[in-house]
């Protein structure tokens, strides 16, 4: 007979994080660059809790939101968005964070599929709302996240956030319900077919936040100042809105101002110690720093995710600015935490070049994430640092299926999620991604890693960004086409790039075609859009050169 422990069975409620932050870190600040004015707004966690309780009363009394209803946000990172995160899910409803840069038709589809009852939006998206509102009959309420004075910017009938919550009481008791109740909804990009919804629970989100709190993961405590550049509409801003309040860190919310100059100003003004975002953001900041002879001495660590950390970017920040670059990996389906790169004690004596090789790995598995690498037949491969295969994962904050039953083919019969990444694991649990399954370039029966080729190309002094895509070739099945965005004022010299790559990759990896583009297509989450590049170059023909 099983003997059970004599422990209390207390449901894990996301509202408990907010209550804890208010009681134990009440004076800690959320600093926001207001989307509607660009001015700096400050409020502490205690005030945030009071306003969120006002919001909860407004959701129930004025908007008629009930447990299980979906409420959408189309918004930047701000104190109001934090209030919505906790207020919507705290009453048992579901906060659906919407990527505002999707095609309007896709947004309309998404709001209908989610059955959103209300939409909260920032002023920058007023034209978008005016364009889609008439096509969203299920949305009963549109709320501009500002004061009444800004309502003139919107043609659609709506009300302002501040008036909605302003007259409400802050007397509210957060309900307790099943911890597996849905908390948040985030859709995948939908680059092939319709987007698929990932439905997070209170339990999964709190466990994920606890994992983020580990010192080798994000680990920002009450003395930390955290600036999440990763948008709150992208996988819950990597769990930062939960982990930061759980641990009492100061939050600096940049609103829509994500250029190098504004990010630098906020970092300096608030003495930010930890930042998180995708590589393209840090490329922009790096250019600003170099062009204006600026520094960011308060920053201790930068968490890079969304796509691989280029070696040139790592060296620039660490060698010139003394900032530790930390790479992580995950997916929307994983909440998104999977691996984070943190050195082991045995790495302390490595020379700089060997240390960089470790840092360029996607990182070590975080406790709570199970992973296996399998070959094309589904046979599990060893963790030997060499055997590359398809990555599959499972764990308490990893999706078991998609919203409304879509995408069942993404899960194995024994319950693992097939990520679509190709990688290998070493004996210390470090994962190295070699490519996305759909991005691997197969030339003459051999694989070429687009990620490795891109990262090497970005080490060229004239290259701002680079993307490698496999294009049809009459002899070799596929060959790599390297698309390059040159740095401002730099020459566009394909032969110089080929010569630069000659001693860095295998000879047969050297791209047959190198094309220059004025601006790399970038998605809303900062990733290069290879689907767009394939569309642009769909009729591309390689020069008549035998590879």
Distance linking the first and last C-alpha atoms of the chain: 68
188 is a catalytic site residue: yes
- Residue 14, CA distances (Å) to 88, 169, 187, 260 in order: 10, 21, 21, 33
Q: What number does CATH give the domain 14-200+229-243?
A: 3.40.50.12780
447 is a catalytic site residue: yes
Q: Which of 36, 83, 311, 333 is catalytic?
A: 333
Give dist(CA 208, CA 128) in Å, integer: 33
Give dist(CA 323, CA 295) in Å, integer: 10
> Hunting for tokens 């679509």 — which residue is that?
420
Q: What are phi and psi of 490, to 5 degrees?
A: -85, 150
Q: Which of 140, 354, 447, 475 is catalytic?
A: 447
Query: E strands, 261-352, where?
Result: 274-277, 301-304, 324-330, 337-340
Q: Which of 386, 442, 535, 541 is catalytic?
A: 442
Q: Report pLDDT for 11.
A: 98
> Hunting for tokens 């509607």 — which residue is that?
36
Give dist(CA 511, CA 454) in Å, integer: 11
- Segments making up each domain of the chain, as ranges: 14-200+229-243, 441-536
Edge-first strand listing for the sheet containing 94-97: 159-160, 141-144, 116-121, 70-74, 94-97, 182-187, 197-201
Q: Which residues are within 8 A (CB) of 458 and not within 5 positions of it... i.e. 6 or more apart?
A: 310, 311, 312, 313, 465, 466
∠334-336-338 over CA atoms, to 5°?
75
The tens place of each residue's pLDDT in the chain, 547 residues long, gives 999 999 999 999 999 999 999 999 999 999 999 999 999 999 999 999 999 999 999 999 999 999 999 999 999 999 999 999 999 999 999 999 999 988 899 899 999 999 999 999 999 999 999 999 999 999 999 999 999 999 999 999 999 999 999 999 999 999 999 999 999 999 986 555 688 999 999 999 999 999 999 999 999 999 999 999 999 998 999 999 999 999 999 999 999 989 999 999 999 999 999 999 988 889 899 999 999 999 999 999 999 998 888 888 999 999 999 999 999 999 999 999 999 999 999 999 999 999 999 999 999 999 999 999 999 899 999 999 999 999 999 999 999 999 998 888 999 999 999 998 999 999 999 999 887 767 778 676 666 888 889 889 999 999 999 999 988 887 777 899 999 999 999 999 999 999 999 988 888 889 989 999 999 998 766 778 888 898 899 889 888 654 4
User: Angle at which helices 202-212 and 240-247 pack, to 10 degrees?
Assistant: 70
Give dist(CA 226, CA 273) in Å, integer: 6
The CATH superfamily of 441-536 is ANL, C-terminal domain (3.30.300.30)
Pick left, alpha or beta for residue 325 (phi over 0 → left; psi -120 to 50 → alpha; otherwise beta): beta
The answer to whether the CB of 529 falls within 8 A of the CB of 490 is no
442 is a catalytic site residue: yes
> Hunting for tokens 């004015």 — which residue is that?
37
| 3-state SS class at 179 | coil
Q: Which of 188, 332, 339, 434 is catalytic?
A: 188
The answer to whether the CB of 399 falls within 8 A of the CB of 198 is yes
Q: Report pLDDT for 546.
A: 47
> Hunting for tokens 């201790």 — which residue is that?
300
Q: Report pLDDT for 279.
A: 86
Q: What are phi and psi of 4, to 5 degrees?
A: -85, 145
∠371-196-410 over CA atoms, to 5°?
40
């Amino acid at each position: 007979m099983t003997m059970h422990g004599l422990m209390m069975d207390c449901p894990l409620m996301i509202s408990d994080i907010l209550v804890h932050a208010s009681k134990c870190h009440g004076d800690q600040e959320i600093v926001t660059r207001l989307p509607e004015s660009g001015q700096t707004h400050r409020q502490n966690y205690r005030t945030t809790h009071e306003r969120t309780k006002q919001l909860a009363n407004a959701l129930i009394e004025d908007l008629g939101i009930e447990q299980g209803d979906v409420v959408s946000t189309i918004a930047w990172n701000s104190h109001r968005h934090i209030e919505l995160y906790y207020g919507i899910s705290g009453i048992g409803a579901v906060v659906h964070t919407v990527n505002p840069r999707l095609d309007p038709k896709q947004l309309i589809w998404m709001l209908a599929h989610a059955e959103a009852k209300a939409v909260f939006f920032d002023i920058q998206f007023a034209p978008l709302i005016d364009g889609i509102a008439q096509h969203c009959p299920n949305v009963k309420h549109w709320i501009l996240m500002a004061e009444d004075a800004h309502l003139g910017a919107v043609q659609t009938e709506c009300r302002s956030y501040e008036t909605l919550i302003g007259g409400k009481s802050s007397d509210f008791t957060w309900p307790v319900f099943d911890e597996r109740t849905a908390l948040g909804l985030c859709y995948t990009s939908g680059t092939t077919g319709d987007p698929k919804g990932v439905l997070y629970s209170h339990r999964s989100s709190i466990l994920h936040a606890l994992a983020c709190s580990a010192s080798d993961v994000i680990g920002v405590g009450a003395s930390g100042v955290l600036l999440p550049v990763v948008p709150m509409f992208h996988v819950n801003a990597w769990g930062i809105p939960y982990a930061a309040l759980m641990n009492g860190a100061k939050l600096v919310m940049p609103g829509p101002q994500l250029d190098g100059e504004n990010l630098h100003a906020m970092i300096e003004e608030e003495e930010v110690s930890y930042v998180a975002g995708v590589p393209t953001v840090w490329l922009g900041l790096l250019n600003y720093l170099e062009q204006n002879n600026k520094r960011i001495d308060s920053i201790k660590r930068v968490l890079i995710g969304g796509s691989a950390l280029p070696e040139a970017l790592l060296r620039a920040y660490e060698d010139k600015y003394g900032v530790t670059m930390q790479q992580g990996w995950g997916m929307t389906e994983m909440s998104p935490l999977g691996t984070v790169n943190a050195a082991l004690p045995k790495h302390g004596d490595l020379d700089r070049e060997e240390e960089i090789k470790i840092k360029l790995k996607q990182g070590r598995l975080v406790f709570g994430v199970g992973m296996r690498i399998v070959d094309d037949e589904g046979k599990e491969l060893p963790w030997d640092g060499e055997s590359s295969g398809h990555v599959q994962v499972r764990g308490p904050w990893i999706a078991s299926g998609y919203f409304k039953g879509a995408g069942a083919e993404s899960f194995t019969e024994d319950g693992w999620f097939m990520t679509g990444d190709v990688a290998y694991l070493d004996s210390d649990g470090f994962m190295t991604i070699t490519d996305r399954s759909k991005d691997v370039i197969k030339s003459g029966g051999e694989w070429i890693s687009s990620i490795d080729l891109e990262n090497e190309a970005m080490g060229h002094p004239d290259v701002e960004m680079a993307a490698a895509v496999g294009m049809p070739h009459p002899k070799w099945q596929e060959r790599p086409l390297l698309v390059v965005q040159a740095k401002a004022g730099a020459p566009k010299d394909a032969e110089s790039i080929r010569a630069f790559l000659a001693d860095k990759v295998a000879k047969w990896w050297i791209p047959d075609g190198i094309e220059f583009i004025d601006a790399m297509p970038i998605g809303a989450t900062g990733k290069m859009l290879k689907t767009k590049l394939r569309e642009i170059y769909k009729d591309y023909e390689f020069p008549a050169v035998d590879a």
